[in-house]
Amino acid sequence: MNNINGKFWDEKYAGVDSVYGKEPNNFFKEQIDKIKPGKILMPGDGEGRNGVYAAVNGWIVNSVDYSQVAHDKAVQFAQDSGTQLSYLVIDLAEYEPYKNYYDAVGIIFLHLNKELRSAFFGKVVQSLKTGGILIFEAFSKNQLGRNSGDPQDISMLYDINEIKSIFKELAHVIIVQEEIFLNESKFHSGEASVIRFVGIKK
């Protein structure tokens, strides 16, 4: 496992009840509520706010993240919510999801370095069944310099044309860059620039 990423996220998640809140991301909730429940992959699910929401609403959830601390909090959150999810702690560079397996994938504020993102997102696309839906929201490069959310490293932020290219195998349903007001926690609060994408596996 990548000890640098694991240690960073363990430290971020430790000592705080909920870093990004316990309510699901608005865009994820809006989109997942439109889909018949099935199996969903949640890479970078953190403390489980989105995965637990999906599980409560009938989805079979496989969450994946770097952090053991996040895993423990997510599993407890699921139990407290009367549901469960499968949660794997692993370096995302080493993760190999099942192919043609998932009905949906939720990628919410998962900021990967350029060396990893194309390969990882390619694997994620292959994990979808034909007709499966991918939901993505993350900060755009215009987020640089704003205090409404990290990372503040332009190489970790996304460009809309890059997202179009990375997910070119999917039929694009939504692909927009928007200015929104985040109110998810003190770490995600204020005016922010995000890219939102929904695609369907052809």
How does pLDDT run along the chain (202 residues), one tens digit per residue?
344 465 655 565 666 666 666 899 999 999 999 999 999 999 999 999 999 999 999 999 999 999 899 899 999 999 999 999 999 999 999 999 999 999 999 999 999 998 899 999 999 999 999 999 999 999 999 898 777 677 888 989 999 999 999 999 999 999 999 998 877 666 676 788 999 999 999 9
| Residue 161: predicted pLDDT | 97
Q: Is 96 exposed, middle or buried, given 0-12, 13-18 or 19+ CB atoms closer than 10 A?
A: exposed
- List the CATH code of the domain at 3-201: 3.40.50.150
| Residue 2: predicted pLDDT | 41
Using DSSP's 3-state secondary structure scheme, residue 196 falls into strand
Relative to beta strand 188-201, strand 170-185 is: antiparallel
| Residue 144: predicted pLDDT | 86
| Residue 191: predicted pLDDT | 82
And the tokens for 41? 């992959």
